[in-house]
Structure 1
């Protein structure tokens, strides 16, 4: 009965399981024209950016935490290896730094990734039916860490078993942004498409739970809900 009461308290207070806290997508187009595709449109010419751990190439993008902080439990990365035909990613090397790209490291790791499914395909305007560049979600179940409210950067690279890549596609909406890249361990520089010279954003997602502490009134609701459930269980036992 104690377990039942605790579960009731958690439900009453809204203490949910891990959920998506932040998404910097979209990875591919939604319903409608070119659904399930990330389309390279002229004058852009870069299908993907190098994010190969073996070559010491890394990419990065920023995000902001607000509302009382986060408890991070997993990270989702999105990439492709040309002509792989299946999920081929092995590990993600990642770090979260505070403030600027050169800020203090808050959390980091080298984490095995699992197959989160094929999201769609990276294609050009003239190869809309190509399946050579399947974009997959690489899920990294990281050691839990906490982030207080503030501005952060996520830095990452990937390993895979196929010969080409891993390659990092930009977001499918082709919006401009402030993503960065480090080539062969050099300093991070702003990332831009080679043809259009426009800056880009990179898709990634952060999962976990918010760390906000409930107000005193919420604790009262928790207690009331738990006591009510306990009373209901007692009445049912007496009736039985």
Structure 2
């Protein structure tokens, strides 16, 4: 009987925390592996060079009743003509609040990055096979942080060894959004595509584990089960 209770309690605990990609603001490329400039667009990538104070930002939400334990961040960028992964670090921050400029910084840092793989290429409709702008997934393992439910912004700038960039491509679906950019260390402003005049979204991912906040009944079952296990152990020791 005690074994059944123990297994039930463990199942409840296991159901509370699940490993996952917590959030992905892609897509980065389309089904053919390219990110094509949208109609009227003229900008291949936006400046995200941390060394000169250029940063980009986009937002995400942690849904009500959830808590995220964030252990890594994934960015996507390119350096024109690099021909291989050329990124060295990411300078990032997570900001809580409705506005990226006035919100509260809950975590930040400059983190060495690793190669998450070639995602595809940034191209135009007439240069679909051009491979000058290879978009790479840029992984940054960070000290674990916990985010409660609410609205957040992720800001980031990149450094690398390539001669051009780093550059930040928009999402490959060319959807409008509220991505922002800060240049020369200035304030963030809504990022717009120069040719089309449209706002954009930027691809990024937040990784870690998601924890559901159990209902009161679930807590009661867990505590009750743990109490029964403890009682059984005490009786066993007396025997």
How far apart are 1:185 and its partner, in Å? 0.7
Distance 1:159 1:40 in 2: 24
Answering whether residue 120 of structure 2 is matched by residue 120 of structure 1, we say: yes
Relative to structure 1, is the Cα distance of residues 223 and 124 closer, same or farther in structure 2, using a 3 angstrom cutoff?
farther
Relative to structure 1, is the Cα distance of residues 153 and 124 closer, same or farther in structure 2, using a 3 angstrom cutoff?
same
Distance 1:127 1:11 in 2: 53
Aligned counterpart, 2:79: 81
Aligned counterpart, 2:187: 187
Distance 2:70 2:11 in 1: 19
For 2:108, what is the secondary structure of its paired residue?
strand
Aligned counterpart, 2:149: 149
Cα contact 1:18–1:73 (8 A) shared by 2: no
For 1:108, what is the secondary structure of its paired residue?
strand
TM-score when normalising by structure 1: 0.83
User: For 1:96-175, what aligned pairs fall within 5 Å after superposition?
Assistant: 96-99=94-97, 100-102=99-101, 103-175=103-175
For 2:212, what is the secondary structure of its paired residue?
coil
Distance 1:187 1:110 in 2: 19
Answering whether residue 41 of structure 2 is matched by residue 66 of structure 1, we say: no
How far apart are 1:222 and its partner, in Å? 10
Answering whether residue 56 of structure 2 is matched by residue 55 of structure 1, we say: no
Distance 2:165 2:16 in 1: 40
Aligned counterpart, 1:44: 41
For 1:9, what is the secondary structure of its paired residue?
helix
After the TM superposition, which of the residue ranges 176-185 and 60-69 deviates more from structure 2? 60-69
Relative to structure 1, is the Cα distance of residues 26 and 222 closer, same or farther in structure 2, using a 3 angstrom cutoff?
farther
How far apart are 1:186 and its partner, in Å? 1.2
Aligned counterpart, 1:19: 20
Instruction: Give the unaligned 5+ runs of structure 1.
Output: 228-240
For 2:35, what is the secondary structure of its paired residue?
strand
How far apart are 1:11 and its partner, in Å? 8.6
For 1:27, what is the secondary structure of its paired residue?
coil
TM-score when normalising by structure 2: 0.84
Distance 1:52 1:190 in 2: 17
Cα contact 1:27–1:171 (8 A) shared by 2: yes
Q: CA RMSD in A?
A: 2.3
Q: How many equivalent residue pairs?
A: 218
CA deviation map 1:135-190 (0-9, x unaligned): 00000111000111111111100001111100000000000001000011111111
Cα contact 1:116–1:139 (8 A) shared by 2: yes
Cα contact 2:16–2:212 (8 A) shared by 1: no
For 1:71, what is the secondary structure of its paired residue?
strand
For 2:10, what is the secondary structure of its paired residue?
helix
